[in-house]
Structure 1
Amino acid sequence: LLAKGLVMGIIITGAVLGNALVIISVFRHRKLRIITNYYVVSLALADLLVALCAMTFNASVELTDRWLFGYFMCDVYNSLDVYFSTASILHLCCISVDRYYAIVRPLQYPITMTHRTVSFMLANVWILPALISFTPIFLGWYTTEENLEYRKLHAGECRFIVNQYYAIISSCVSFWIPGIVMVTMYCRIYKEAVRQRRALSRTSSNIILNSIHQHRVQNPYHYSHRLHPSDGELTLCSTATATTNTSSRNSSAGSTNYGTTNTTTTTTPPHTTTPPP
């Protein structure tokens, strides 16, 4: 029991202090007061309230094995738990939309994500969870008649049993719709990141090829460039190699010259006729 209480105390304290530090850091440093961090601060506030208003009641039930706060506070606890949990998920959904516009549509981001738009989104994030938490729970719409009668007779238990209609509506608002939006946004962000990486790679290749071409134009007699067809690596043949090749070509050309033939010309003296004696 002591170990369980210590672990839960550490978890609650860490959640409170961590989220409080996030809020304080943004408010104390002016450079952190950007539009994206508005969602982060609001999310930290929602998580802080989860730790204070929901986890504390849950810790007491875990340590005492019974509900100590009565029928009304049971509805309060269930409402706060659903409310702040849904608010946290909706904050994550808003952050994904904000990142989508910042990365995929950066030119539209300053026009779309204005202070007015962010305020409207955050207002809905805090209002919509109340429609599936406080209103149906306090009016008894979330559960069955049998569970309501059971709770009145057993004040030492705080059960949260929902009916089919409430389960479908609350799961759609709290999980399915935000989950689909987040998956869609981050998939598009990933595709855009891959596209930009490929475009950057092509740009780098073009820059390298242009620099090589300029070097060839500026130094036509210093280097002989050959672009390897398989891996695109540049092979530079030095002037010494070029000179060697030139010499070998000259030698082979010289070997085809016509040879000189030394001819000996024999001079025959003219015939002289000796007159007969």
Structure 2
Amino acid sequence: MDNENFKNISMLQNTTFDDTADELWDNFTHFLKATIMGSIIVASILGNLLVIVSVMRHRRLRVITNYYVVSLALADMLVAMFAMSFNFSVEVFGRWLFSYTLCDVWNSLDVYFSTVSILHLCDISIDRYYAICKPLKYSLHMTKKVVALMLVNSWVSPAFLSFLPIFMGWYTTEAHQEFRRQHPDECVFVVNKAYAVISSSISFWIPGSIMIYMYLQIFKEANRQEKEMFNRHGAALLLHANNTNGDMLSNSGGSSKTLTLNEINQDLHHTPTRERSISRMKREHKAARTLGIIMGIFILCWLPFFLWYDSVSLCTTCECPHLVVAILFWIGYFNSTLNPLIYAYFNKDFREAFKNTLQCAFCSLCQRPPSDLNYVDNRRPSIRYEDRTRSVYSETYLKHVDRRCSDFGSTL
């Protein structure tokens, strides 16, 4: 009898220990999940706010192309404030804490701000395409009015994809509408097939295809410029070896351009013109690589989500674990957090502006003026074409920098 009691007590203790271990593990994973999500939200808000404030404080960053950057930062910050925060509450508390109407508001804001952010990335790729592939037409096509229209379209058009169909009930099925009426305390986003195809196409597939096409064209143009420069240099060496003086000869690369003796001398010697040409070519190639990284991060963050979104919406029998769905959502959200990090890593002007802004934010005794970047470039009063094409992603302009601050001004 004593042995049986001992066995029962041992089994009860083991069961209690297992339950306690499972509870501790669940609490740890719950805390870890909340910490990661909260860190992403805070980093996204502060990082994008830093971009906005830095551009406002530093005159050097206030160029037309960086309007896209500020607008994108605002969209990414709103994604964190209104989309991530509601999702965070559901994941942490395990249920919907707010009203029936706020459920529609959250779903609308989630679709709206995510689409706005993606459309801004598409606008930036189009702007860089014209600046790099068609530089002579850039000043004609990308005027302030055109940039403003593109930004307005990026903010207005997603409203017809989010607020209108969601509040009108066009986005979902009759069965789900009935479920929501019976369970007003639950917030589950279920869409019909038509809305899934249309929304995913406008929010991801079409902008993503445009970005891929633009990047490929930029990559081809960068390679063409490099090949043309080497061909011109090879032709210059050949002409110099044959002692030709001033003859007009065709480029050996098949180009319709001609080389004069002056150009030959420039190609053979390290003249300022040649140095600027090489420097510009390197900047263009670096811009192409940067755009590739930006596009690659964008696709890595959003492609898994939209593949799941379309497959589950079109396949009525397909199911996916809640944990996988949550991970896919937050990987997509994470793209809004990464954008400021990309600026800081690839653009020296932004790095210096961030450093200056943070110093003035955390040090009350800091008296550094907000226009520290202004001395980098001694510009003429008129606005040059090169000034208008500079951006965080590429610099198709030639700088005239003081030697003492040349390191300060190097960017992409």
TM-score (norm 2): 0.51
Structure 1 equivalent of residue 303 of structure 2: none
Which whole-Å deviations, capped at 9, do the CAs of 1:50-98 have from their partners, x for residues lacking one?
0000101111111111000011000000000000111111111111110
Superposed, 1:135-150 pairs within 5 Å as: 135-150=164-179
Structure 2 equivalent of residue 236 of structure 1: none
- Letter of the 2:48 partner, please give it: N
1:214 to partner: Cα distance:
4.5
Measure, in 1, the Cα distance between the counterparts of 2:116 and 2:200. Answer: 13
Structure 2 equivalent of residue 6 of structure 1: 35
- Letter of the 1:115 partner, please give it: K
Matched, 1:69 2:105: no
Match among 5, 14, 29 for residue 58 of structure 2: 29
1:209 to partner: Cα distance:
3.1
Residues 104 and 189 in structure 1, CA contact (< 8 A), matched pair in contact too: yes
Residues 104 and 192 in structure 1, CA contact (< 8 A), matched pair in contact too: yes
1:187 to partner: Cα distance:
1.0
1:143 to partner: Cα distance:
0.3
Q: Which has the higher helix share?
A: 2
Structure 2 equivalent of residue 208 of structure 1: 237
Measure, in 1, the Cα distance between the counterparts of 2:204 and 2:34. Answer: 30
Structure 2 equivalent of residue 223 of structure 1: none
Measure, in 1, the Cα distance between the counterparts of 2:232 and 2:121. Answer: 35
Matched, 1:166 2:195: yes
Matched, 1:157 2:186: yes
- Letter of the 1:155 partner, please give it: P
Matched, 1:104 2:133: yes
- Letter of the 2:135 partner, please give it: P
- Runs in 1 of length 4+ with deviation above 2 angstroms? 206-215
Structure 2 equivalent of residue 95 of structure 1: 124
Matched, 1:193 2:219: no
Which whole-Å deviations, capped at 9, do the CAs of 1:149-186 have from their partners, x for residues lacking one?
11122123211100111111111211121112111111
Q: What SS does structure 1 have at the residue aligned with 2:114?
A: helix
Residues 20 and 48 in structure 1, CA contact (< 8 A), matched pair in contact too: yes
Residues 144 and 162 in structure 1, CA contact (< 8 A), matched pair in contact too: yes
Structure 1 equivalent of residue 148 of structure 2: 119
Q: What SS does structure 2 have at the residue aligned with 1:107?
A: helix
Matched, 1:46 2:72: no
Measure, in 1, the Cα distance between the counterparts of 2:225 and 2:140. Answer: 22
Measure, in 2, the Cα distance between the counterparts of 1:148 and 1:108. Answer: 51
1:2 to partner: Cα distance:
2.0
1:213 to partner: Cα distance:
4.1
For CA contacts below 8 A with separation 6 or more, give which structure has more relative contact order: 2
**Structure 1 unaligned residues grouped into runs of 5+:** 216-277
- Letter of the 2:127 partner, please give it: D
Residues 67 and 155 in structure 1, CA contact (< 8 A), matched pair in contact too: no
Please provide the CA RMSD for this pair: 1.5
Measure, in 1, the Cα distance between the counterparts of 2:204 and 2:107. Answer: 17
Match among 163, 168, 179 for residue 208 of structure 2: 179
- Letter of the 1:14 partner, please give it: A
Measure, in 1, the Cα distance between the counterparts of 2:212 and 2:98. Answer: 40
Which whole-Å deviations, capped at 9, do the CAs of 1:235-264 have from their partners, x for residues lacking one?
xxxxxxxxxxxxxxxxxxxxxxxxxxxxxx
Q: Give the stretch that moved more between structures: 160-169 or 149-158.
A: 149-158
- Letter of the 2:210 partner, please give it: V
**Structure 2 unaligned residues grouped into runs of 5+:** 1-29, 245-412
